[in-house]
Amino acid sequence: MSHKLRAAFLDMLAAERGAAKLTLEAYGRDLEDYAAYLKAAGSDAQRADTALIRAYLLHLVDLGLKPASTARKLSSLRQFHRFLMAEGLRGDDPALVIEGPRRASAAPKNLSPDEVERLLKGAGEGLDDPERPALERMRACRMALLLELVYSTGLRVSELMALPKAALRSSAALVAVTGKGGRERLVPVSDRAKALAKLYLATLAEAAPGLAAQRWLFPSISESGHMTRQAFARDLKTAAGAAGLDASKISPHVLRHAFASHLLQNGADLRVVQELLGHADITTTQIYTHVLDERTKAMVRDLHPMTRGE
């Protein structure tokens, strides 16, 4: 497999699918490993057959790779072989019939609605207390707003950190967000989030007027100019501990999971949740099928005439 072919494949992913930089780097590493194995076997991607690809996967297992990592590498080379066939560089796809390794279907960590309510309630106390120093009030308002936005919109933490200040100054019920691969989507913003944003921006102007002049909703002195994911995760664990929750099970991503899970538990359609989360593929959203399974069981139990009176 030549470097030129790999580069052409990665260019296609970037141009046609809007793949992010980190995604492209991961594909590049996977294909370099695959190319090295094929070269050692006296072959290349244009001549490799199904048996050789299976041997490569067994080689990965022997190296101690976990099923999830092996599955990701298989996905990379599957897409690469489809690309070769589409470009007329091969007449067949030797990876088409290969099944990926079985993986345990672990449900994502989640919080109950009561736990989220405790977290939100704890963060929302004493926000406008004039006895508190301005900087302390600003940080408290910022955390309350961050929590409200994550749980009410399901934004990725990177999307949340990069929100411009103008996003919540508008009276519009929807905010445009640029997600992975440069894809834009609209997310609804609650009235409570807008009220918290107004209070937070006022305390920010009072406590740190220099930062308040920046374009970001959550400005900081970091290289990016806005609050980092790590800073939010750290402050979130502090807020969780203050609310009497187990900080080890709480992160910005867990709150995003809570947003999706609680919507599905209350009857939302999986496709709607897919759009709100910004997933390009419905299969990514299907990690929440355990929620749908439980909801379906409950519907049968509560609504089917044969189960009444049991």
Question: What gap in Å lies between CA 185 and CA 121, rounded to an integer?
Answer: 29
Question: In whole angstroms, what separates CA 67 from the centre of its chain?
Answer: 21
Among the listed residues 73, 139, 257, 279, the single catalytic one is: 279
Contact call for residues 19 and 27 (beta carbons, < 8 A):
yes
CA–CA–CA angle 151, 155, 159 (5° rounding): 140
Among the listed residues 156, 226, 257, 262, the single catalytic one is: 156
The answer to whether residue 156 is catalytic is yes
The answer to whether residue 288 is catalytic is yes
Among the listed residues 180, 192, 229, 237, the single catalytic one is: 180
Among the listed residues 59, 194, 253, 295, the single catalytic one is: 253
Cβ-proximal residues to 81 (8 Å cutoff; 6+ apart), any chain:
45, 90, 93, 94, 95, 96
Question: What gap in Å lies between CA 306 and CA 301, rounded to an integer?
Answer: 9
Cβ-proximal residues to 237 (8 Å cutoff; 6+ apart), any chain:
247, 250, 251
The answer to whether residue 257 is catalytic is no
Using alpha carbons, select from 200, 150, 197 the residue that is nearest to residue 169.
197
The answer to whether residue 226 is catalytic is no
Burial class (CB in 10 A: 0-12, 13-18, 19+), 108: middle
Q: Which two tokens stand for residue 183?
A: 């894809």
Residue 186: strand pairing partners: 176
Among the listed residues 142, 226, 256, 262, the single catalytic one is: 256
The answer to whether residue 304 is catalytic is no
The catalytic site residues sit at 156, 180, 253, 256, 279, 288
